[in-house]
Amino acid sequence: MDKFDTIIIGAGPAGLAAAHNLKGNGQNVAIVENNLWGGTCPNRGCDPKKVLLSGVEARDRVAQLQGKGFDEVPYVNWKELETFKETFTDPVSKGSRDGIVKAGIKAIDGQPKFISRNEIVVNGQDHYQADKFIIATGQRPSYLNIPGKEHLLSSTDFLSLKKMPEDITIIGAGYIAFELATIANATGAKVHIIHHNDHPLKEFNKDYALELVDQLKNKGVDFNFNVDTQEILQQADGQYVIKAADFELTTDLIIGATGRIANTDFLDLEKAGVKYTRHGVKVNSRLQSTNENIYAIGDVVDTNQPKLTPVGGFEADYVSDILTGKTDVDLALPLIPTVVYGSPKLAKVGVQDSDNVIDQDVTSWFTYSHTNDSKAKIRIVLNEKSEIIGATLLSNNADSLINLLTMAIKRQMTHEDVVKEIMAYPTAASDLEYLF
């Protein structure tokens, strides 16, 4: 039987980062993966979505300038865009696994199960022991438990659609719903969103979330709030009927985007003394599970932190430092900016409310008017010392500006500090000094 210092289960961004870190610090490391190496983000998450969105952004940019130098709104060729996307996704799994092998880390393919507190068996036959384990198995889509749930497709299915249907419905109104709706809408589909309450993107400022709803409505997306889906039926012609109280909708394809569930099952964690819920592995402030030799990182951890790629990477670095004796303090995550990659984009970071808030519609400012953007809004939250402590942004460049504001918050910058900086002009960053 092979024995290792550390075995990592799950080769997504979090697991791979931990494996490379630990190996780089002289450990004897193995990593087990039961599906595509590289995990959700580069295979069926952030990266393929961003490639598809690049087509949307290009199209929208031209659409905004119709009659201002451009005559026609370009048609997005879904098949070609998908093929372009595959040039990014296809090499990921082999490339990630090859990188592991090249680094001298043992790559194990298959389904691991714990058989004791320090031993796993993979595919029911190969036994491996380790002093420490790191669980990094991520999450998968969770589906509504309703009659007809077998007709629901996931974000993974959407990102690989061979053909964009004429009419598509997304159930849910979180990150995934808005991003996929933006892509489908720009590629010519009639898009419906069905949401069980009237608060989409609930972690965001409600006015800003509803402004994004209005922007998508203006582009033709149909929002149905306070509709609690009860049943899905398939008709003889192949179309689906979505049913709720006093509600019925016929559509070509349905995506379930009502959240994700942790991949804690299939591992026989009970045999290792690791407690978990449907939200993930229970951990202490050092990401240690109820078995002190087993840690958990990334999306599979049961915490309230946003489940995002850079968070998993940060946790991988932290646990690697713990396991190599470089730190023994509790995990302290820095500020975490998040972005909904819509058109426009919605971003937030830090504290969302105080007595001192600047909230401006900046659509008419040069930065946004020279590209004829449909809406741009900035909301900056300040503390009693006028230091920036949070922000919400809605604009086409919200993703870049939110990172700059994250640095400003970290440096406890005030308006006066911002004015003292020279930023490249004219940009969203150089606008900041005029905001206060």
Ligand X SMILES: Cc1cc2nc3c(=O)[nH]c(=O)nc-3n(C[C@H](O)[C@H](O)[C@H](O)COP(=O)(O)OP(=O)(O)OC[C@H]3O[C@@H](n4cnc5c(N)ncnc54)[C@H](O)[C@@H]3O)c2cc1C
| Cβ contacts of 216 within 8 Å, gap of 6 or more | 178, 181, 182, 185, 223, 342
Shortest distance in whole angstroms from residue 111 CB to ligand X: 6
Shorter beta-carbon distance to ligand NAD: residue 151 or 196 = 196
Shortest distance in whole angstroms from residue 170 CB to ligand X: 12
Q: From ligand NAD, ligand X, none, which one binds at residue 229 (CB under 5 to 8 Å depending on kind)?
A: ligand NAD
Helices 206-218 and 175-186: crossing angle, nearest 10°? 20
One residue of 20, 23, 49, 192 binding ligand X per CB under 6 A: 49
Shortest distance in whole angstroms from residue 179 CB to ligand NAD: 6
Evaluate whether 292 touches 322 at the Cβ level (below 8 Å): no
Q: From ligand NAD, ligand X, none, which one binds at residue 256 (CB under 5 to 8 Å depending on kind)?
A: none
Q: For ligand X, what does the binding mask look like between residues 204 and 243, x meaning CB under 6 A?
A: ----------------------------------------
Using CA atoms, how far apart are residues 163 and 161, in angstroms rounded to an integer?
5
One residue of 7, 8, 13, 303 binding ligand X per CB under 6 A: 13
Shortest distance in whole angstroms from residue 228 CB to ligand NAD: 6
Evaluate whether 254 touches 231 at the Cβ level (below 8 Å): no
Q: Which helix (H) or strand (E) holds 29?
A: strand 29-33
Shorter beta-carbon distance to ligand X: residue 295 or 365 = 295
Shortest distance in whole angstroms from residue 359 CB to ligand NAD: 23
Rounded to 5°, the CA angle 265-270-272 comes to: 110
Helices 78-89 and 46-64: crossing angle, nearest 10°? 140
* Burial degree of 158 (CB within 10 A; 0-12, 13-18, 19+): buried
Q: Does 307 bind ligand X (CB under 6 A)?
A: yes
Q: Which helix (H) or strand (E) holds 178?
A: helix 175-186
Q: From ligand X, ligand NAD, none, which one binds at residue 86 (CB under 5 to 8 Å depending on kind)?
A: none
Binding site for ligand X (CB under 6 A): 9-15, 32-36, 39-41, 45-46, 49, 111-112, 136-139, 155, 176, 263, 266-267, 298-299, 307-310, 312
